């Protein structure tokens, strides 16, 4: 009976997507990210000067609005190259390729920042479900699922020794007004924090506290007390 209730209310969707994303992708690629970044840095010593940025930056838009081309999402983000790929036999597919793309992100002062960045792909599934009559996700339900996905993924990764210090989750709510460079500013904010963290470690001081980015504490306040999505609604989009 509990299983049927859970299935009807779609309560396990975000939880399952987060675990699948971790087991089927992040647990495979994240332990190899630093090695790829180190190889690129040896060939390009003046690009990735801050080791704290040698990680995969994972975008988590709570709107689930995912662009296949980051350059179209924000013109201040430009593709540079692909990092060294990992090839594995996986679930019957021989030589399955895993790779990440390196981008430059331009800030308001025209300074260029470099990082490996990509969207959390399961959000595409959440968005598609909200457009499919069979799933019947409303906007509100999709938002709740996105928050639960983020919180679940955050907890999974915090407990993963293999993935430690190889990722940075960037959860955000897009500005209500049209802002063509919102995403680049969001990424740059996190990159600056990583630079501050590296300087703090070198100097033996405490890194500054985040002031603008969404964190799990904020998301806790926004999610229902039960930590589960509310019952599905069938209102318009």
The runs of H, that is alpha helices, within the chain are 2-9, 13-21, 27-43, 70-73, 122-130, 139-158, 182-203, 216-222
Distance, in Å, from the CA atom of 66 to the CA atom of 205, rounded to the nearest integer, reads: 37
Q: How many domains does the chain fold into?
A: 1
Residue 34 has pLDDT above 60, yes or no: yes
Interval 94-109: pLDDT, tens: 888 999 999 999 999 9
Structural domain boundaries enclosing 182: 11-204
CATH of the domain at 65: 3.40.50.12100
Q: Decide which of 233 and 5 is more confident.
A: 5
Distance, in Å, from the CA atom of 213 to the CA atom of 211, rounded to the nearest integer, reads: 6
Which percentage of the chain shows pLDDT scores above 90? 54
Burial readout 167-203 (b: 16 or more C-beta within 10 A, e: otherwise): bbbbbbeeeeeeeebbbbbbbbbbbebbbebbeeeee
- Mean confidence (pLDDT) of the chain: 82
Does 214 fall in a domain? no
Does 48 fall in a domain? yes
Residue 81 has pLDDT above 80, yes or no: yes
Predicted confidence band at 218 (pLDDT cuts at 50, 70, 90)? low
Which percentage of the chain shows pLDDT scores above 70? 77
Q: What is the pTM of this model?
A: 0.82
pLDDT for res 103: 97
Does 96 fall in a domain? yes
């Amino acid at each position: 009976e509990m299983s049927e209730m859970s299935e009807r209310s779609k309560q396990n969707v975000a939880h399952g997507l987060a675990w699948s994303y971790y087991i089927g992708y992040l647990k495979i690629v994240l332990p190899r990210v630093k090695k790829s970044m180190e190889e690129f840095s040896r060939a390009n010593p003046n690009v990735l000067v801050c080791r704290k940025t040698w990680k995969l930056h994972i975008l988590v838009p709570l709107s689930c609005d995912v662009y296949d081309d980051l350059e179209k999402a924000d013109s201040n983000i430009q593709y540079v190259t692909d990092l060294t790929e990992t090839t594995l036999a996986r679930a019957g597919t021989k030589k399955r390729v895993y790779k990440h793309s390196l981008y430059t992100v331009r800030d308001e002062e025209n300074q260029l920042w470099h990082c490996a960045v990509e969207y959390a792909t399961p959000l595409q599934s959440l968005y598609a479900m909200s457009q499919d009559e069979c799933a019947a996700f409303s906007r509100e339900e999709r938002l709740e699922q996105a928050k639960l996905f983020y919180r679940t993924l955050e907890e999974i990764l915090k407990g993963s020794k293999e993935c430690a210090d190889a990722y940075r989750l960037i959860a955000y709510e897009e500005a209500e007004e049209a802002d063509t460079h919102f995403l680049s500013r969001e990424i740059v904010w996190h990159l600056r924090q990583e630079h501050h963290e590296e300087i703090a470690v070198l100097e033996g001081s405490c890194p500054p506290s985040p002031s603008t980015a969404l964190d799990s504490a904020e998301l806790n306040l926004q999610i229902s007390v039960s930590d589960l999505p509310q019952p599905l609604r069938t209102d318009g989009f």
